[in-house]
Every structure is written in structure tokens, then in C-alpha cells.
């Protein structure tokens, strides 16, 4: 059996059975093809001649060493290893492999980096940056308010449809990873911004009445992840040239501010749509830093 064929079947499985997003599938494809390239160059063989026997502990370990020597970040190497592990688990489930050849392989040690977040004053400045007298400004303010109020991923934001939101409801319906649905609370300011945009700005941007997406681009069709990044970059440059953030920063900010103000970890986990509590726990490091700062600024015998 050829490895390239099994990668094709694996990506097909992710799309059909796991409902993985196009971006997720593309990332898996890139990671797995890079391993194929490594084996092809190392042994000077054609890619379509690489068999499953090359998917073993030694070759993957050598691949990780190669990535490190090329200067790849440990986090990127860990992701590429995770892609190979997912492929191996699939092959084991399909009884194509008898056992897992990567079971004893260690994940590259990663630097513990805390996620970036904004302070309340920075959030306020960013959200107030759009010109709400224009359709695009109304849309952009609704986007910023929604991301900060709900903590949803950008992919989840652009997937929102009109039927997922009601002015009279305190929740929005979100489709997360694996097409799983969850209800996420939405504050009054975000609901107000969404209401203004849907009633005014969206109607001006809309070209086809059958379009279901809430957030539209200038062509009247669904806004993309990339489009949201461009919107945030635009307002960040207007507000401050010193801030370096991505759309995901607003998700980090949402979680950090909730925990700083007393929210429990389990509730934040559910709102973020994290499967594992350990994924949410990284934000407790941020709140500890906040507590430490408060102590150092207020305790008389610090």
C-alpha cells in the first residue's frame, strides 16, 4: 500500500465522516505532504512509490530532527507530528496497520507562551473605531462586539446565519468544530449592534434575498475568515500601531476578562466550546498574573 493513497483516503474520511472544515483538511494535507516530500528527498524515490513501511518511529523522529534543524518552531513541529498521529490512528482503526508505530514518540517540547489579550480600554477603543453611519461600519462594529461578547472563533462567526440570531433572545446558536452546535450568551451591546446592522447595513449590502449569512462582504455574499482579519487589522492600525493582534485575540480577551471578574472555569469552557478543560486552563495563568499585580500594588507589606 502506498502512503500517498492512504493520505487521500484519510482526508476524504475527515471531510465525509468527521465534518472537518476545509481549512482543517487543508492544514492536514500540507503537513502530511511535507512528510512525503522529506522521505522522497531523503531516499531519492518518487512520492507515489513511498509505502506505509516508511511511516515508522525512526523516520518520523528523523523528520522532527530535520524540522528542528530548519529552524521550525516547536509548536509547528508538534502540529505536524499531530497530523501524522491522526493519520496513524485512522490506519489502525481501518485495520491497515496492526499497531501504532508512533506510540512511543515524544512530542517536541514547547515554550509556554501565554495568549495575548486586550485591556478593557483597548477593547473599548477598538469597538468604537468603526463609522456606524455607513453599512460597512455597522457591520464591522457588530463583528467586533460579537467576537468580544461571545468569544466565538472567527470561523464560527462567519458561519452564522440569520436564523441563528434573534433580537429577543440572549443567545446565539453557534456551529463549532465537528459541526457541533452550542448556545452562547450575547450581551445587550452586542445584540444592539447586531440589530442595527441586520436592519440597516445588511439590507444595503444584500444582493440576493436568499443569502442566509449574517455577515456579508461588498459583493453581498458571506464574509470570509480572511475578510474578518482584514477588518480587524484596519481598525487596529487606526486605534494604535503598537497593538499586534489577530481575530483570535478577542477570543482570548473574552475568556481572560470573564475569569478576571469571577467566572468559573467550567462555564468559560462551555462558552468557548472547548472539549477539554485543560485547554481552557491556560487562561488561569493570565488571571494569576492579574491577581499578583493587584497584590503587589495594594498590600502594605509587599
Catalytic, out of 80, 141, 175, 251: 251
Catalytic, out of 79, 85, 116, 248: 248
> 251 catalytic, yes or no?
yes
Cα–chain center distance at 126: 21
Catalytic, out of 177, 182, 200, 229: 177
Label residue 196 exposed, middle or buried (CB < 10 Å: 0-12, 13-18, 19+).
middle
Q: Three-class SS string for 232-275? A: HHHHHHHHCCCCCCCHHHHHHHHHHHHHHCCCCHHHHHHHHCCC
With cell 486605534, the residue in question is: 239
Catalytic, out of 80, 139, 141, 153: 153
Label residue 301 exposed, middle or buried (CB < 10 Å: 0-12, 13-18, 19+).
exposed
> 252 catalytic, yes or no?
no
> 248 catalytic, yes or no?
yes
> 47 catalytic, yes or no?
no
Cα–chain center distance at 41: 33
> 295 catalytic, yes or no?
no
Q: Would you state the cell numbers that stand for residue 199, as one nine-digit string?
A: 436592519
Catalytic, out of 18, 173, 182, 274: 274
Q: Which residues are tagged catalytic?
A: 153, 177, 248, 251, 274, 283
Amino acid at each position: 500500500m502506498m502512503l500517498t493513497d492512504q493520505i487521500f483516503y484519510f482526508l476524504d474520511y475527515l471531510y465525509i465522516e468527521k465534518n472537518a472544515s476545509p481549512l482543517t483538511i487543508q492544514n492536514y494535507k500540507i503537513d502530511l505532504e511535507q512528510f512525503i516530500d522529506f522521505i522522497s528527498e531523503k531516499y531519492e524515490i518518487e512520492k507515489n512509490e513511498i509505502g506505509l513501511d516508511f511511516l515508522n518511529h525512526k523516520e518520523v523522529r528523523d523528520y522532527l530532527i530535520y524540522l528542528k534543524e530548519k529552524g521550525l518552531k516547536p509548536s509547528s513541529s508538534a502540529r505536524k507530528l499531530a497530523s501524522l498521529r491522526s493519520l496513524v490512528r485512522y490506519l489502525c482503526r481501518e485495520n491497515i496497520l496492526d499497531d501504532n508505530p508512533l506510540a512511543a514518540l515524544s512530542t517536541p517540547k514547547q515554550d509556554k507562551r501565554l495568549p495575548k489579550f486586550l485591556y478593557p480600554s483597548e477593547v473599548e477603543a477598538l469597538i468604537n473605531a468603526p463609522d456606524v453611519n455607513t453599512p460597512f461600519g455597522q457591520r464591522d462594529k457588530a463583528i467586533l462586539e460579537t467576537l468580544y461578547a461571545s468569544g466565538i472563533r472567527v470561523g464560527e462567526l462567519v458561519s452564522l446565519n440569520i436564523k441563528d440570531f434573534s433580537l429577543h433572545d440572549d443567545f446565539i446558536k453557534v456551529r463549532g468544530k465537528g459541526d457541533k452546535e452550542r448556545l452562547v450568551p450575547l450581551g445587550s451591546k452586542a445584540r444592539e449592534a447586531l440589530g442595527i446592522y441586520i436592519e440597516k447595513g445588511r439590507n444595503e449590502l444584500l444582493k440576493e434575498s436568499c443569502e442566509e449569512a449574517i455577515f456579508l462582504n461588498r459583493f453581498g455574499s458571506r464574509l470570509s475568515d480572511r475578510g474578518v482579519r482584514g477588518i480587524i487589522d484596519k481598525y487596529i492600525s487606526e486605534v494604535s500601531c503598537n497593538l499586534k493582534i489577530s481575530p483570535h485575540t478577542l477570543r482570548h480577551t473574552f475568556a481572560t476578562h470573564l475569569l478576571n471578574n469571577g467566572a468559573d472555569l467550567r462555564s468559560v469552557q462551555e462558552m468557548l466550546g472547548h472539549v477539554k478543560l485543560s485547554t481552557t486552563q491556560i487562561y488561569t495563568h493570565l488571571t494569576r498574573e492579574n491577581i499578583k499585580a493587584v497584590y503587589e500594588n495594594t498590600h502594605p507589606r509587599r
